[in-house]
Structure 1
Amino acid sequence: MNITRFGRPMAAIAIAATTAIAFSACAANEQGSSTSDLTGTLVGAGASSQGSAQEAWIAAFQTANPGVTITYDPSGSGAGRETFIAGGSNFAGSDSYLKDEELAGTFAACVEGTLPFEVPAYVSPIAVIYNLDGVDELNLDAPTIAGIFKGTITKWNDPAIVALNPDAKLPDAAITAVHRSDDSGTTKNFSDYLLQTAPEVWDIEKAEDPFPYQSGEGAQGTSGVVDAVKNGTGTIGYADASKAGDLGIAKIKVGNEFVAYTPEAAAALVATGKPVEGRDSTDMAVKIDRTTTDPSVYPIALVSYLIGCNEYQDTAAAELVKAYFSYILSEQGQLDAQANAGSAPLTREVADKALAIVAAVK
């Protein structure tokens, strides 16, 4: 029999998860008719990519549980993890899994000696967005994207871009590449794509939350990048696809084809990820292989995690986290995120594993 780190049988955890799903899905659908006696305040902070999904999740959960107040500050993945580690929030959202050095420290909200859990909750493509008059379609490959954001490709009529877009009227105009100025899991995932697929250009040791080069223009948060691209001329950036709006979105070369993002293609990428080695059984961090040549897979996507305590100092917070996260990970919660944020619902296999971990929280 498989035993978790707290000694609870997995079968018992699965039963608890099923109960939590039933409660949460029912609560989300009742839209205010619930007799839930849950009360209290839950504070979260972190990935701005989760912003639209969190808005939808919070609205549905609070409608079904009127005694509960949930806040989520989309301050960025790095800031969200720092806030949670310091005890300033009950949970974090992060587009990067916890670093080894973070796991080696202490977590103020958690019982001393226990580790946090992290489970995937939000999967979304990262769009390469642009604003260039007269260019409605743009094809890019990894080396060209890397050159643009590193600052070695500086004009829109650069031969590398022209070769990929022979029918486009590309102007002799400067490129302004906009990146995240804050520590961001979106940057880490974008940078990881370029490191894996164009290492001869994107010559860094490893992808991390800070943007790795002193080039281009920095902007705070997803909204900052989108606004900078929208309000500029000849601009290009990267952002969670749900926030792209009416900006141009580049197609990315995969194998011999140029592919547009879809939630399904992003989910296909994440489904092939491998568990990070050396992690606790309640840590579902995955490493993604972005070198695929399969055009049904979109290679620039992020998996955004929910991070909380396996055992909370505050037992009331534990109950709220269990209920809220169980709704998020339920089929209804994932459909709500897809409808409001364009994300890709987790596969049931992944969701069920995450639900079992959340069900064991205490």
Structure 2
Amino acid sequence: MYHWGKRIARCVMGVLGVLFCGTGYSADLTGGGSSFAAPLYRGWGKGFYHQTGLSLTYQSVGSGAGQKLVMAAGVDFGASDLPLADTLLDSNSLYQFPTALGAIVVIINVPGVASNQMKLDGPTLAALFDGTITTWADPRLRALNPGLRLPDLDVLPIHREEASGTSHVFVDYLHNVAPDWKAGMWADGPEARGNDGVAASVRQSIGGIGFVEYAFARQNRLNTVRLKNHAGQCVTPDRTSFTSAATSADWSHADHYAVNLLKAPAPQAWPIMTATFVLVPAHPTDKTAAVATKTFFRYGLKQGDDVARDLDYVPLPTNVKDRILSGWP
């Protein structure tokens, strides 16, 4: 069953390249899942192919689909922005590990306010998204931003219309900083699909505010805000604050590497970070594919940091990479 299921998956995943199976299409390694992680694995795949001659086909089908694919033995590895619970990992004999980190940032379109000029803390950010704060001239915003001229302009909060790893992490953050905030408490306002949809909506909406993966903010040249972190410091979203969060997180006590990056203790840590995860069979029946999979991720973790940074991911700390590779079953 494993080999037939995997053969069918390889055929489906090769459709974009050859339209149907049996025309010489071949993938030495298959993966599927997280859309956030897709550019990273495709970037690693290019270097991996040049070094080993082994090819990777990766389908960006979403975290939930990635989990289902690997559980059904339809791919060599599944990718998910949300870690699986211990019980699911055990019952499906899966090994879970992170491959890189990403930052979620807040973007705004407020006339006269340049990127990273505005400062926000968690409770105020929650109030902007639940509709408690309705104008950019609100006294709470002025108190956090003395000297910054804030217009008497309606706040237009924009959030994702579909379930996503980005939304899940952002909601967790809001609940951490404002315990009464729960999923679904979005104020009336536009919804958008995907990070690119939110980015486009904020760019087109005067008074807009939204949240996206950092890469989308940078690539679209959107204005971001500074945020007060767990240590009480107001920090700028940049490589320094992202790396500070990654290195100060409590990796050693995280079950299956599902570390809480929302409470990284370092003074300069960015407060809204998430890891993207890979799932592989802990007891694979296809030994050849298992060796290729491990070789691919060894290449990515050991030689892929430059690719990760160029694509706006944050590489894992070296000691975490070493633990992942040494603990691989």
Instruction: Give the TM-score taking structure 1 as reference length.
Output: 0.73
Asked if the contact 2:251/2:320 (under 8 Å) is kept, the reply is: no
The Cα shift of 1:128 comes to 1.0
Partner in structure 1 of residue 216 of structure 2: 243
Number of matched pairs: 297
Secondary structure, aligned partner of 2:146: coil
Asked if the contact 1:311/1:318 (under 8 Å) is kept, the reply is: no
Cα separation, partners in 2 of 1:66 and 1:116, compared to 1, 3 Å: same
Deviations 1:277-323 (A, max 9, x none): 7x5xxx3222345274x531111111111222112243333122112
Deviations 1:139-192 (A, max 9, x none): 111001111122322222222222222333322322222223333222222222
Secondary structure, aligned partner of 2:209: strand
Deviations 1:331-357 (A, max 9, x none): x2123211x222222221100011123
Asked if the contact 2:245/2:269 (under 8 Å) is kept, the reply is: yes
Secondary structure, aligned partner of 2:113: coil
Cα separation, partners in 2 of 1:314 and 1:228, compared to 1, 3 Å: farther
Secondary structure, aligned partner of 2:84: coil
Read off the aligned partner of 2:292 and give its amino acid letter: L
The alignment status of 1:262 with 2:238, answered yes or no, reads yes
Structure 2 gap ranges (5+): 1-25
Partner in structure 2 of residue 123 of structure 1: 101
The alignment status of 1:147 with 2:162, answered yes or no, reads no
Partner in structure 1 of residue 321 of structure 2: 351
Partner in structure 2 of residue 221 of structure 1: 194
Inter-partner Cα distance in structure 2 for 1:231 and 1:45: 33
Partner in structure 1 of residue 23 of structure 2: none
Higher helix share: 2
Inter-partner Cα distance in structure 1 for 2:62 and 2:131: 24
The Cα shift of 1:45 comes to 2.6
Secondary structure, aligned partner of 1:189: helix
Read off the aligned partner of 1:93 and give its amino acid letter: A
Inter-partner Cα distance in structure 2 for 1:314 and 1:229: 47
Secondary structure, aligned partner of 1:239: strand
Read off the aligned partner of 2:308 and give its amino acid letter: A
Deviations 1:57-111 (A, max 9, x none): 12222333444132241x43334323433444332222221135644654xxxxx
Secondary structure, aligned partner of 2:83: coil
Deviations 1:175-211 (A, max 9, x none): 22222333322222222222222224x2x3xxxxxx5
Cα separation, partners in 2 of 1:257 and 1:272, compared to 1, 3 Å: closer
The percentage of aligned residue pairs carrying the same residue is 31
> 244-253 or 172-181: which moved more?
172-181
The Cα shift of 1:51 comes to 3.5
Runs of 4+ in structure 1 over 4 Å off: 274-277
Inter-partner Cα distance in structure 1 for 2:249 and 2:57: 33
Secondary structure, aligned partner of 1:226: helix
Secondary structure, aligned partner of 1:183: coil
Deviations 1:1-25 (A, max 9, x none): xxxxxxxxxxxxxxxxxxxxxxxxx
Asked if the contact 2:251/2:257 (under 8 Å) is kept, the reply is: no
The CA RMSD measured in Å over matched residues stands at 2.6
Asked if the contact 1:76/1:183 (under 8 Å) is kept, the reply is: no
